[in-house]
């Protein structure tokens, strides 16, 4: 696989390697990470990609949502992870309030994140409002990952953490928005908590890597929160695999193996679209 070649040549995993995974159909593992020591262990264990997620708001700081975490805090965490990860790709999450006010605010804060942390790419929870921001960041040479589907920063609007794309209308909106994000210049997409037919269609109609977070087997990479994987949280999402307890390295290796072999995710780790809605969706996507 692409990452093994990186390891053998002792070079960093890059977006080009993720693009190669899309071409060759070899799925890749990704885990969240929030500190130097853990980053060093994950990097040495062979995790190709690390996400410094705003999930740190909950699993590190104890908040009930991702909303309270600050940009300064995310920059500190990303810098620490970057120092620990010599070969893994490092993706930085842009926190709530750091890019929604205006394109000018978003550009300023994203460029600050990149300059101060040396991260490889940034992730934003994207909507129609994000198009011009992604266009301008892409023109400036920043790799942006557009996060679609369940967007935790909109938990207040959604009324809770509910999987998306359960109706044909929702699914159609996600697929069309994914095309819009790619046209705007997004380097990759991250789909969270959507049924497999949705991610499968997104993969078909776009030409960038698609990272799944509870989004089914069609995705080119799969990410879960490390603390959920290790069994350290009380109610992990259904898409997190249950692993036999062991050392950090052993459990991480098992996750990487499950992803690379295609055994993860299985049907018990995905979300369902009602059959009647799936039929409507299939009819709708013929026009996309």
Quick one: which of 20, 30, 26 has its CA closest to 262? 26
Q: Are 146 and 186 in contact (CB under 8 A)?
A: yes
Tell me which DSSP letter residue 108 carries: H
Neighbours of 161 (CB within 10 A): 12
Residue found under tokens 């960093």: 12
SS3 85: coil
Q: Cα dihedral angle (13, 35, 59, 268), rounded to 10 degrees?
A: 30
Q: Catalytic annotation on 135?
A: no
Strands (DSSP E) along 75-130, which ranges? 89-93, 121-125
Q: Which of 125, 192, 260, 277 is catalytic?
A: 192
Q: Are 8 and 60 in contact (CB under 8 A)?
A: no
Length of the chain: 288
**Angstrom distance (rounded) from CA 114 to CA 94:** 11
Residues whose CB falls within 8 Å of the CB of residue 280, separated by 6 or more in sequence, listed in order = 168
Residues whose CB falls within 8 Å of the CB of residue 241, separated by 6 or more in sequence, listed in order = 224, 229, 255, 258, 264, 265, 269
Catalytic residues: 192
């Amino acid at each position: 696989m692409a990452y093994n070649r990186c390891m053998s040549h002792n070079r960093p995993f890059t977006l080009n390697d993720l693009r190669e995974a899309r071409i060759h159909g070899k799925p890749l593992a990704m885990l969240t990470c929030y500190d130097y020591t853990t980053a060093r262990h994950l990097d040495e264990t062979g995790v190709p990609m690390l996400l410094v997620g705003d999930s740190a708001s909950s699993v590190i700081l104890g908040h009930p949502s991702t909303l309270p975490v600050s940009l300064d805090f995310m920059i500190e965490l990303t810098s620490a992870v970057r120092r620990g990860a010599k070969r893994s790709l490092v993706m930085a999450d842009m926190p709530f309030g750091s890019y929604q006010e205006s394109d000018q605010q978003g550009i300023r804060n994203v460029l600050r994140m990149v300059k101060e942390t040396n991260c490889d790419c940034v992730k934003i929870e994207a909507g129609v409002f994000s198009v011009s921001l992604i266009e301008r960041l892409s023109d400036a040479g920043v790799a942006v990952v557009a996060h679609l589907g369940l967007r935790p920063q909109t938990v207040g609007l959604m009324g809770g953490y509910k999987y998306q794309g359960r109706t044909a209308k929702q699914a159609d909106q996600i697929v069309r928005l994914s095309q819009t994000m790619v046209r705007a210049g997004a380097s990759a997409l991250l789909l969270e908590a959507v049924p497999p037919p949705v991610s499968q269609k997104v993969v078909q109609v776009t030409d960038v890597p698609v990272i799944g977070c509870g989004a089914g087997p069609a995705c080119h990479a799969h990410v879960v929160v490390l603390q959920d994987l290790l069994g350290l949280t009380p109610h992990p999402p259904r898409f997190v695999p249950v692993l036999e307890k062991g050392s950090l390295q052993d459990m991480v290796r098992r996750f990487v193996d499950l992803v690379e072999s295609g055994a993860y995710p299985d049907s018990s780790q995905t979300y369902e679209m009602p059959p009647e809605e799936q039929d409507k969706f299939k009819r709708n996507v013929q026009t996309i």
